[in-house]
Structure 1
């Protein structure tokens, strides 16, 4: 399916699934869907402030989110209410699926953060990934998830995601 940006203007509902249940769902503006990558923009969908210590997500933040149908991750550019870049939050996921106005993404527990200046690149939630048992229940998916995390970390440390998101 190849769809150009003009044909996809509108809203989608992003559905984040984790361990077989819906973790969160939120409305997002569909910016583009070229058949491989889906790009949406949405305000911070959480309630209140989420302080990770290295970054705070809060009301007014805007996320431009990039999902792929063939890749095992999503990259989310995070800006504050004034448009200042905070950084990129990356989720390791199964490849995204879109059916009409619904975009479904299965979170595989691993994450990566890259600050706006690139000085802080960190892997997140490796303990949750280990506890999930995915390596035992679906070794192929676990291997793909770890490879995706390695790929994103390499990109983050070698200058960022510009080429990936262009």
Structure 2
């Protein structure tokens, strides 16, 4: 599998986090990749993200979000889906980057949804058009993950 660098940027485009993964599949305007959590174990909204948890991540050049499907490193079960509302990703050979807009949707396997970081999002100085697109992306994600949750990134997609 092809190695890839993932760069998270703030809304102004400055790099805030960088890590590495492997490309699982490329589609026109999208990439599906796999990465492993490489930070110390971290409690997060009632679950524990552990070093070596597996992330299957989808990035899109034409959508205002990306989706991370998170698997437990011990039993392989899905822990959650973590969806970043963001400007469309820039996908290149060997790299994907995205400008995060703070607003996130956390989806649990039982279908529960939590919108995260609304206060941080409210402090951003987005244009009315960017705000409209970001809020529309959040609504699209909520609908995509409406119970019963059928989204599975770790299955081969067809172009």
Q: Same fold (TM over 0.5)?
A: yes
Q: CA deviation at 1:123?
A: 0.6
- In the alignment, structure 1 residue 77 sits paired with structure 2 residue 69: yes
Q: 2:83 aligns with which of 87, 90, 99?
A: 90
What is the root-mean-square deviation in Å for CA atoms of aligned residues?
A: 1.8
When normalised by structure 1's length, the TM-score is: 0.85
How many residue pairs align between the two structures?
153
Contact conserved, 2:9 with 2:100, CA < 8 A, in 1? yes
Aligned to 1:109: 102
Structure 2 CA distance for aligned equivalents of residues 91 and 68 of structure 1: 12
CA 1:133–1:161 in 2, change beyond 3 Å: closer, same or farther?
farther
- In the alignment, structure 1 residue 143 sits paired with structure 2 residue 132: yes
CA 1:65–1:163 in 2, change beyond 3 Å: closer, same or farther?
closer
Contact conserved, 2:50 with 2:73, CA < 8 A, in 1? no
Aligned to 1:39: 32
2:145 partner SS: helix
Runs of 4+ in 1 over 6 A off after TM superposition: none
Deviations 1:64-100 (A, max 9, x none): 0011110001111100113111010100011111222
Aligned pairs for 1:57-72 (under 5 A) are: 57-72=49-64
Instruction: Name stretches of at least 5 consecutive residues in structure 1 with no aligned partner.
Output: 1-8
2:32 partner SS: strand
When normalised by structure 2's length, the TM-score is: 0.88
Greater relative CO (CA pairs within 8 A, separation 6+): 2
